[in-house]
Structure 1
Amino acid sequence: MTELATTNPADPPWLTIRRGTLAAADNGGLFVSPGYGRHPRRCIDSFEIILMREGQMTIAEDDRVFELAQHDALVLLAGRQHQGLSDYDRRTSFYWVHFRLRPKQHAIAATDQSADTNISIPQLSRPGRPERLVELFRRFLHDQEQGFASPVEADLLVTSMLAELAFHHRAEPHGAKAEALAGQVRSFIDGAFCRPDLSPGLVAAELDLNADYLGRVFKRVAGQTLGQYINARRLREARRLLQESDLTVNQVARAAGFADPGYFRRIFRRHFGAKPGDLRRLYFRVHVNVR
């Protein structure tokens, strides 16, 4: 794909991959900060996806500096020196995975080159569906610990991560005002979903807006109702707790904002296609590194 122009340091780079390409996975992990140190300086021959799970991190690649926060995704490019510019704080954690692409399968472009024959992934992005990426990472890490049935299984998971990063940036715009309002709603729900009394009406009241108007705008932008988003946010937290804590299913339900554990079990199974306990057993093995 040498016909695509490469970037200069001032351009926001995009990783462009030819359609039909399967990324070759190396290895991955979940980094959890010990409260000291920083990302090492190195230059490696593989690409790396970093998905911030919590906290903040400042990292440089050549002369570009990236300030990362929760849910930010960064693709570090092969053959370029990168290093941490700030020490880890105690809350910093992120998923990471290394992969390879053959020279004829990709190019680094200055602009989005998405077309029928290729996809483009921005080097730095904030995915619209971070839970999808987290799920892919956890599947990858669990199967890595268990042993992949085939290297192709790992390759498919990493390629799915790249597709998720690429297609997030192809959503149609809805207008700055509507997008800002939807973002305000998401921020409020993300901070209050654990309240059992949280409802679309309460969200509208807290934001001092008409409930019908708010519901219409949010559905147009987000593609789901306020009630659906509240439940999805609670379910995402429930899944995280099932995968990362020792809480019982009933305790998980209450911590995620579900007052009725029975209702939680029903909606969880309908949403994920598995019982809470079954999902916990499915993805419990994860490689964690602290250095």
Structure 2
Amino acid sequence: MLPKVNFVDETEIRPPYVHRKRRAGEQILYFIRHGEMHLLEDGKPLILKPGDVCLLDKDRTHEGTKATTCNYYYVHFMHGEMELVDAKEEEVARQQFERRRKAMVKEPCEPYGSYDESKIWLPKYWHIKKVTDQIHIDELIKQAIAEDYSTFENHKILCACRIQEALIEIARCFATAERERTAGGFPESYYKVQKIQEWLNASYAADISGERLEEEFDGNFDYMNRIFKRVTGQTIFQYLTAVRMEHAKRLIAQTTMHTGVIGQEVGYPDEYYFSKVFKRNVGMSPRAYADSLSKNKS
């Protein structure tokens, strides 16, 4: 469900301006670029600095407490499915969030039917540490502003899509930081595992070896494989095989490609070897898998 974006823009406040006391009646997202913003929301003080994101609740009163210079993006929006988690529910929410992130780390592809079950876990107030993540979110909000000012058809829908992307990116950054915090003292290793997963998801059809991975990630393969298994429960090549099998199953289900061509598309030039790997991992040959799909449709 897309947010309904009422206002999105960049602005800068300077002394003596201070945010007036108000209850907005809509969610407000602040993303601080430069300077500081001092707020009070229902009696709780907030000091926002560069790289900080903050979601103000539609039903809570907020006001400025100090005149400062601050450059920031603001997004005023409504989302019918956005719920605020209170303090009593926070630990339960964190556990649900942790289980979902662990599951996502281990699965190469999210099932198509999971759209209806997907949730975006957003922090109310959080600092985005990595500059590359800040730049990405900055660019998404810039695109949203451009669409909001556009005169072309469906520009408000595209604006809402960009804000939804920004919210998902914030949620992903938050998820990664939470996993790093609970990862038992190897946050940098966890980040490297994510990068390896992203690369495998994009390059699964290539000829991938331990030597190739060492070149791509400037590290020892045995070490990378150990930390990869510690985080995901799988070795690098077990994960790569799972990715390839998911894509192979999709091609079997959605195309009329010959088995040998499908094998080449997912990284197995040898048709016989592809069929062998497929049967070992899926439980049946590619042809049998295609027949089972036909029977289910009829």
TM-score under structure 1 normalisation? 0.50
Aligned to 2:200: none
Which among 53, 64, 77 is matched to residue 73 of structure 1? 53
Give the conservation status (yes or no) of the 8 Å contact 1:61–1:81.
yes
Instruction: Determine if the alignment matches structure 1 residue 97 to structure 2 residue 75.
Output: yes
Give the conservation status (yes or no) of the 8 Å contact 1:37–1:87.
yes
Please state which structure has a larger fraction of its residues in helix: 2
Deviations 1:178-210 (A, max 9, x none): 659xxxxxxxxxxxxxxxxxxxxxxxxxxxxxx
Aligned to 2:82: 106
Give the conservation status (yes or no) of the 8 Å contact 1:56–1:70.
yes
Aligned to 2:62: 82
Aligned to 1:156: 161
Matches within 5 A, 1:263-278: none
SS at match of 2:84: strand
Aligned to 2:294: none
SS at match of 1:43: coil
Deviation at 1:82, TM superposition (A): 0.7
Deviation at 1:68, TM superposition (A): 0.7
Q: Distance in 2 between matches of 1:162 and 1:25?
A: 13
Instruction: Determine if the alignment matches structure 1 residue 140 to structure 2 residue 144.
Output: yes
Matches within 5 A, 1:219-230: none
Aligned amino acid, residue 101 of structure 1: H
**Unmatched tracts of structure 2, length 5 or more:** 101-116, 189-218, 228-298
Q: Distance in 2 between matches of 1:119 and 1:137?
A: 18
Which among 170, 177, 200 is matched to residue 175 of structure 2? 170
Matches within 5 A, 1:50-61: 50-61=30-41
Instruction: Determine if the alignment matches structure 1 residue 123 to structure 2 residue 120.
Output: no
Deviation at 1:96, TM superposition (A): 0.5
Q: Distance in 1 between matches of 2:137 and 2:153?
A: 21
- CA gap 1:41/1:147 in 2 versus in 1, 3 angstroms: farther
Give the conservation status (yes or no) of the 8 Å contact 2:143–2:159.
no
Aligned amino acid, residue 79 of structure 2: L
Aligned amino acid, residue 173 of structure 1: E
Give the conservation status (yes or no) of the 8 Å contact 2:7–2:76.
yes
Give the conservation status (yes or no) of the 8 Å contact 1:22–1:156.
yes
Aligned amino acid, residue 131 of structure 1: I
Give the conservation status (yes or no) of the 8 Å contact 2:121–2:171.
yes
Between Structure 1 and Structure 2, how many residues are aligned?
165
SS at match of 2:2: coil
Which among 12, 17, 28 is matched to residue 48 of structure 1? 28
Larger radius of gyration: 2
Deviations 1:138-167 (A, max 9, x none): 111122223353121121111112111111
Aligned to 1:284: none
Q: Distance in 2 between matches of 1:147 and 1:95?
A: 21
Aligned amino acid, residue 65 of structure 1: P
TM-score under structure 2 normalisation? 0.49
Aligned amino acid, residue 168 of structure 2: A
SS at match of 2:74: strand
Give the conservation status (yes or no) of the 8 Å contact 1:52–1:93.
yes
Deviation at 1:46, TM superposition (A): 0.9
Deviation at 1:38, TM superposition (A): 1.2
Give the conservation status (yes or no) of the 8 Å contact 1:58–1:84.
yes
SS at match of 2:8: strand
- CA gap 1:65/1:176 in 2 versus in 1, 3 angstroms: farther
Q: Structure 1 vs Structure 2: percent identity of aligned residues? A: 17
Aligned to 2:268: none
Give the conservation status (yes or no) of the 8 Å contact 1:46–1:78.
yes
Deviation at 1:74, TM superposition (A): 0.3
Please state which structure has a larger fraction of its residues in strand: 1
Across the aligned residues of Structure 1 and Structure 2, the Cα RMSD in angstroms comes to: 3.0
Aligned amino acid, residue 124 of structure 2: Q
Deviation at 1:106, TM superposition (A): 2.5
Give the conservation status (yes or no) of the 8 Å contact 2:145–2:159.
no
Deviations 1:61-87 (A, max 9, x none): 112211111010001111211111111
SS at match of 1:48: strand
Q: Distance in 1 between matches of 2:135 and 2:55?
A: 18
